[in-house]
Structure 1
Amino acid sequence: MTKPLALWCHARARSTAMGRMMFERGDHQVFDEPFARPYYFSDQRISPRRTDVSPDPGLRFDHILRQVLDAAADKPVFVKDHAYHVVRHVTPAFLALFRNSFLIRDPNEALPSLFARMPDMSDEETGYAALVTMVEAVERTGETPVVIDAADIVARPQDTVAAWCAAVGLRHRPDALSWQPGIPDAFDANWWGDPSWHRHLSASTGFSENRQRDYPSPDDHPRLRRACENCLPHYHKLRRLRLRIAGDARDSIAQMPVAET
């Protein structure tokens, strides 16, 4: 069995586009946020957000983990999920089950998109603190964390995805960087009850900037502004660890917030 390849992230980090690319490759079974089920919907759920749905014992964390590992016994598996869904279970033994990598995005770009759909987002649901915890846990195992930035993916998809593939032991597939519009069945756009989470991806044909955004501005919402300010130090810390890419001016910009271009 090949260990499942995991991309841990925070919300609105362009992780679903990475999952879409992995689906396009055709050589992995893609799991889209499987650990959100125990976090929000199981009888052991952490969040009270979805108390409108009866808790399901079949969605407990150990059951979902077993589904992922069993699938990996038959075919290579790719998992993209939010770090805060699993951070309470992060031990060296848990990390050793996966080939771990991490995706980040400037909170000034990511959090307005989250706030538009979840204006009562909790501090944990912003996701950056849990991501730092996971990265530090990987560092304590002696491994070098594999971190990529969404801004790099949009600006230089070929080079960034190639660097990520090399770091996680995959053959780069340039043909998988573009796809037909639509959402594959592997991405259940309705499980959360709000298909707008995948609205931009469903119309996309590759890694690109969403230029028709109608997100709230942190300047107009004190709660959103505080969340961005609180998450920015976590983002800077993780960004300093991001993968080197050929021709990258990393050293000159590592301390600066980076917006997508």
Structure 2
Amino acid sequence: MKILSLWSGPRNVSTALMYSFAQRPDTKVVDEPLYAHYLFRTNANHPGEQEVLNNMENDGTKVLNQLQKLRTDHSIVFLKNMGHHWIDLDERLLDNMEHVFLIRDPKEMLPSLINQLKDPVLRDTGLKVQKDLYDILTKRGKSAPVIDAKLLLTDPQNVLQKACNALNIPFYPEMLKWEKGPRTEDGVWAKYWYHRVHQSEGFTPYEDKKEPFPKHLEPLLEECEPYYKFLYQKAIKI
């Protein structure tokens, strides 16, 4: 069994990518298994936080060790993880997984994030931890493809084919379409975050943002940009 961990940030079309992988006949998906661990360690103020803590294992080391023993008929287990959920964990836990990163331009991500988190800080974006994780994996001799959300939405088939090649797994055309509505794998937080993806039947074509960037987010944007630019240089291009 291959465990494939996605390291994303919020509002990066990560749930759409999870739904995409759920269409594969060889893959079981798991939605944000480290979310309760993150909330427990940080006391972050998130929508429905107590419900998440009550419904999930709060110890991330236990979670990742349990996933190694997961019994499934599928040959791939796809974990949709948020980068910032990696906190106070032993890097050796990364060794028995393959990894892929999903990033999004913070100019587009931050105005969306404030719909759920009114006053986000750098930690909430996941970008710094994504960069740190990329460096850790490189140091440990592991390669990890990087997917940029804009490029994924612009040409999903091309980007997914290249990502699958990099991960040494087959591409399935079924990954491009899914049925509207929630999935049984959705976390208990879906009612706060997943409204748009539940209306989708595939990757929504990319459209430029027309609204001006919120002025109060400019300092956070400046913090985010170096991490995004570093990872974008590594991203699969079309």
Q: Same fold (TM over 0.5)?
A: yes
Q: In the superposition, relative to structure 1, how do residues 233 and 125 fare at CA in structure 2: closer, same or farther (>3 Å)?
A: same
Please point out which of 188, 192, 202 is paired with 1:206. Answer: 202
Q: In the superposition, relative to structure 1, how do residues 72 and 137 fare at CA in structure 2: closer, same or farther (>3 Å)?
A: farther
2:65 alignment counterpart: 66
Q: Matches of 1:52 and 1:187 in 2, distance apart?
A: 15
For the 8 Å contact 1:10–1:82, the answer to whether it is kept is yes
For the 8 Å contact 1:112–1:216, the answer to whether it is kept is no
| Paired AA for residue 207 in structure 1 | F
| Paired AA for residue 240 in structure 1 | Q
Please point out which of 213, 222, 226 is paired with 1:218. Answer: 213
Q: Matches of 2:211 and 2:9 in 1, distance apart?
A: 19
Q: Matches of 2:13 and 2:24 in 1, distance apart?
A: 17
5+ residue gaps in structure 1? Answer: 249-261
Q: Matches of 1:72 and 1:155 in 2, distance apart?
A: 36
Matches within 5 A, 1:47-58: 47-49=43-45, 53=50, 58=57
The reply to whether residue 29 of structure 1 matches residue 24 of structure 2 is: no
Matches within 5 A, 1:219-234: 219=214, 221-222=215-216, 224-234=217-227
- SS of corresponding position for 2:101: strand
2:80 alignment counterpart: 80
1:150 alignment counterpart: 149
For the 8 Å contact 1:17–1:207, the answer to whether it is kept is yes
Q: How far did 1:202 drift? A: 0.5
How many residues align? The count is 234
* TM-score, with length taken from structure 2: 0.88
For the 8 Å contact 2:61–2:89, the answer to whether it is kept is no
Q: Matches of 2:220 and 2:106 in 1, distance apart?
A: 8
Q: In the superposition, relative to structure 1, how do residues 209 and 110 fare at CA in structure 2: closer, same or farther (>3 Å)?
A: farther
Q: How far did 1:70 drift? A: 2.0
- SS of corresponding position for 2:218: helix
Q: Matches of 1:168 and 1:19 in 2, distance apart?
A: 16
- SS of corresponding position for 1:81: strand
1:101 alignment counterpart: 100
Q: Matches of 2:111 and 2:202 in 1, distance apart?
A: 22
Q: Matches of 1:52 and 1:79 in 2, distance apart?
A: 20
Q: How far did 1:73 drift? A: 6.3
| Paired AA for residue 218 in structure 1 | F
2:114 alignment counterpart: 115
Larger relative contact order, structure 1 or 2 (CA cutoff 8 Å, min sep 6): 2
Please point out which of 170, 181, 197 is paired with 2:193. Answer: 197
Q: How far did 1:22 drift? A: 0.9
2:232 alignment counterpart: 239
Q: How far did 1:209 drift? A: 3.9
* TM-score, with length taken from structure 1: 0.81
2:177 alignment counterpart: 178
> Kindly, what percent of the aligned residue pairs are identical?
27
Q: Matches of 2:202 and 2:57 in 1, distance apart?
A: 35
